[in-house]
Structure 1
Amino acid sequence: MENSDNIDSTVNNSRPNSTADDNEEDEKDVWLDLIGIAADPPDRREKCENCHRPQVVCWCSSVPSPPLRSRSRIVILQHPAEQKRCLRTAPMLSLGLEPGKCLVFRGKRFPQSRQVEGDVSLESIMTAKNTLLLYPSKDSIPLDDLDPSDGLFNLILLDGTWPQAKGIYATSPLLHKMRQVRLVMSRTSTYVIRTQPMEGFLSTLETAAEALAVLERDDRFRDELVRPLQTLCKFQLANGAVEHQSKEYLIKNNQYNKPVGHRLNKLLRAAKCSKSAEESNNNDDDGGEKKLSES
């Protein structure tokens, strides 16, 4: 009886340990199953190999074919957040130009170590004499004033929201040392499915197309490079998207229902001052022409 009691006691004492081990194994299996689950749901739609968009919304048929050949080169300094957007225009530019004519570097400050595209380093581009920065600073000159016979240019664009672009400029001292240029135009963006802060603000693609049309003295860049964007907007509008007006337009027409932040208010004041200065210059020119005609 004593031996029997000992055996029963041993069996009863082992059962809780066995149950704990089983629970531990089950928990491990659950965690392994969770680890195997993809972070994002699988996208079962077939994608285009060029633009990486679902084939039903691919815009590659509107890309210039063959790609446009330019003498100058576009260099895009892109904020990391821009890459996460599902609707972007920089890929349209890369496919619309010949290979090597549109380089993209990502970061929040430039240059960084090991930023190389092919056999070209970003630092060598930023320190080259023929490099220009498209940025509306007080020292910038109209792009139209450049002499195209000066040679080939590297034109640097900052890609991101306006605050992100200003952040890149503020944290990248080398950008301040470059020759800076600006576009002088009154064109409205065709990127109508995205809200622009001000009238006349353009997407990265549209900005590059306008700049190349000026540098190359060829309107094909202005007309053909933006066609993929027009195709994208047309499809989105046909499938439920709505056309957006700029924040400036909405404010002027009492349709902006959100508080006007400091940055937007500053942009509005700057635009008003710029418009007043332009009107003043036009009046001075008209007065001079009138005096000449009277004399």
Structure 2
Amino acid sequence: MEEPDANRRRICNSCDRPKPMCLCHVLPADLIPTRTEIVILHHPHESRHKLNTTPLLAKSLRHVTRISGRRLRHRHISAGETSPSSPTIYLFPSSPSSPAVTVSEFKSLNLLNHQGISNPPLRLIVFDATWKHAKEMVSASEEVLREAGAVRVCLDAGIDESVSGGSIYDSELVLRMEPFGGCVSTVEAVARCLGAIEPDGEEIERKLISVLKEMVRLQSEYLKPMKPRPKLLKKKFQNQQPVEEEEGE
């Protein structure tokens, strides 16, 4: 009988993260209740990424439903506790063909009271994937979103595809590079959105961001700095040199 590997990573039973990066000390003692039901459709590839932040939402918020898939289905709309008739929004940046209202505009338009009900439950759909996959997922889900009457919303800051993305927190820690300026992680996007639409939004946002910051801090201790590979470049240059000399003779 083989002995267990002593070097095998130990996983925390509470936060499901490796022991050295345990987040139990910053996760809420009790799941945070929200009026908003969050439905997260995450791409199968993203769900396996070690830096995926979606599990932090499920460990922090009470009303979170996670679904693995590449497109939204009708059954996913009622996957949570809200009714099929609940107002629905989905979080994704604006585009020329599919404009979005900012979360601040959404709140000021009083769309939450469209049925004359004070603060009815709201369904928030989030697509968790790389930028390329997320665009494909939204495009494949447009029919279901349209039939659900979902409103497209985006963060107030917006994104700029002409600018290269930075880290989750440019001024603090480099963890995972974003493709464009203004792009953020799933946790940060949900935190900013809830911060604008929830009655206790500022406090909810603060708690979620504090968990994310701690995850980034702990993870950064195990990152290896990116270094150029001059030997490969030099070898390539040397291989090209004889050819150039022969052509010049």
Give TM-score, length-normalised by structure 1.
0.59
Give the secondary structure class of the aligned counterpart of 1:208. Answer: helix
Of the two structures, which has the highest relative contact order with CA contacts closer than 8 Å and spacing of 6 or more? 2
1:43 and 1:229 map into 2 onto residues whose CA distance is 27
Q: Is the 8 A contact 2:82 2:122 kept in 1?
A: no
Question: More helix per residue: 1 or 2?
Answer: 1
Give the secondary structure class of the aligned counterpart of 2:181. Answer: coil
Give the secondary structure class of the aligned counterpart of 2:33. Answer: coil
The partner residue of 1:219 within 199, 202, 206 is 202
Q: Is the 8 A contact 2:74 2:144 kept in 1?
A: no
In structure 1, runs of 5+ residues without a counterpart are 1-40, 244-295
1:42 and 1:109 map into 2 onto residues whose CA distance is 41
1:192 CA drift (Å):
3.0
The partner residue of 1:62 within 14, 26, 42 is 26
Q: Which residue of 1 aligns with 2:92?
A: 135
- Structure 1 residue 182 corresponds to structure 2 residue 182: no
Q: Is the 8 A contact 2:88 2:151 kept in 1?
A: yes
Change (3 A) 1:180 1:65: same
Q: What is the one-letter code of the residue matched to 2:208? A: L
1:43 and 1:106 map into 2 onto residues whose CA distance is 31
In structure 2, runs of 5+ residues without a counterpart are 113-117, 160-166, 227-249
Change (3 A) 1:203 1:221: same
Q: Which residue of 1 aligns with 2:126?
A: 157
Q: How many residues align?
A: 197
- Structure 1 residue 170 corresponds to structure 2 residue 150: no
Give the secondary structure class of the aligned counterpart of 2:194. Answer: helix
Q: What is the one-letter code of the residue matched to 1:87? A: L
2:190 and 2:8 map into 1 onto residues whose CA distance is 34
Q: Which residue of 2 aligns with 1:144?
A: 104
Q: Which residue of 2 aligns with 1:121?
A: 79
Change (3 A) 1:68 1:184: same
The partner residue of 1:107 within 43, 59, 69 is 69
**What percent identity do the matched residue pairs reach?**
27
Q: Is the 8 A contact 2:37 2:82 kept in 1?
A: no
Q: What is the one-letter code of the residue matched to 1:179? A: V
Larger radius of gyration: 1
1:215 and 1:90 map into 2 onto residues whose CA distance is 20
2:137 and 2:127 map into 1 onto residues whose CA distance is 8
Give TM-score, length-normalised by structure 2.
0.69
